[in-house]
Amino acid sequence: MPSSALDYAILSHRWNAQSSEECSFEDMTKIPVLDPSCPTRKKKGFFKIQGACRLAFRDGYSWIWIDTCCIDKSSSAELQEAINSMWNYYAESNICYVYMADIQDSEAGWDQRFGKSEWFTRGWTVQELIAPVCVEFYAEDWAPIGTKLERHEEIADITKIDLTVLVRTHEIDLISAAEKLSWVAHRNVTREEDEAYSLLGLFEVNMPLLYGEGRERAFIRLQETIYNSTADHTLFLFRHSLHYNDQPLLADSPTRFCDRTECTLCLSSGLQTVQCLSSDIVYTDILASER
C-alpha cells in the first residue's frame, strides 16, 4: 500500500504493432478523454491504460506512470531524459503491472503459452522485469496470472536471467557485463538503436541517444561507455563469426554474447555454436583472478 504522495504504480507492456493504436502524451493532454465520443477512447491502448489505472486505484495509488502517454516524444530532450532514467522509474515504483495482451486464458497463464508471450522477447522489458521489487502479471482481460516472486523459477527458466537477481538476493551490479548481455542476446526492438539504448539502466550508465546512427554503432558506443565506467573485461568474451578472419575488439550485437552451447538462432546467423569459454569457467572467476 502507498505510504506517501510520491508512491506510484507503473505499467510494463508490449507496445501495439500499430503504434497509432497507442495513446500518446498529446492524445491524453489535448483531447477531452473523459468525453465518451473522444476518438482516443477507441484506441486499443486506451483499454490498456484504463485497466492499469483501475489496478492502481484498487491498490490505493493516486499516480501511475505509463510510457506511451507519460513521455512527450515531440521533445527530444524529454525523450533523452526518460530513456536514460527508465531504470530508475521502474526501480523506484511501488508496484509494476505487466500486461500480457497475448495471454487470453489466465488460468493457463503459466503453461507453455506464458513462456511464449511476446513480452519475454522485447528488449525494453528486461529492465522492467528486474528493476521493480514488486511485479504482477495480468492476462489480456486483466485477470491476474501471478507475481515475479511467486513464479521466479519459471521466469528464470524462460529468460535465462540469474535466479538470484530475480529474487534480489544478489546485487545486479555484481553480475558481469557478458552475463547481462547474454540475457538480451535474442531480444527484439522496433527501432534498431534501442537494442543498445534499452540496456542503459541495466548497466547503470548514461549516454546521448543518436537515433539514425544504426544498431552496430549504438551497441559499440554502449560497450565503450560500460567499459569506461566499469573496466569489465568480460565485454571482450563474445562469440565470433565463422565468416570473417579479422575480428573487432568489441561485439557488434548482443547476439554474440549468447551463452547457450546449442542455439539455432546463433547458428542461423553464422556464429560459432560452441561456448567461447570452457563450461567450468565463469565470467566472475576471471574477474576475481584479475583483482
Q: Is the confidence at residue 36, as pLDDT, over 80? A: no
Q: Which long-range contacts (CB under 8 A, 24 or more apart) does 273-277 make?
A: 276/237, 276/238, 276/239, 276/240, 277/237
Give the residue carrying C-alpha cell 538470484.
164
Quote the pLDDT of residue 280. Answer: 38
The tens digit of pLDDT for each residue in 202-225 reads 999 999 999 999 999 999 999 999
DSSP secondary structure letter of residue 15: P
* pLDDT at 282 exceeding the cut of 60: no
Ranges 22-26, 46-50, 157-161: which has the least confidence: 22-26
Give CA–CA dist 144/131, Å, rounded: 20
CA 273, CA 259: separation in Å to the nearest integer?
Answer: 9
Amino acid in the structure at residue 205:
V
pTM score: 0.85
User: Other CB atoms closer than 10 Å to residue 112's CB: what's the count?
Assistant: 7
Pull the grid cell for residue 130: 528486474
Q: What is the mean pLDDT of residues 100-107?
A: 78
Specify whether the CB–CB gap between 256 and 272 falls below 8 A: no
Residue 45 CA to residue 42 CA, distance in Å, equals 8
The yes-or-no verdict on residue 35 having pLDDT over 90 is no
| Identity of the residue numbered 222 | L
User: Can you give the pLDDT at residue 109?
Assistant: 45
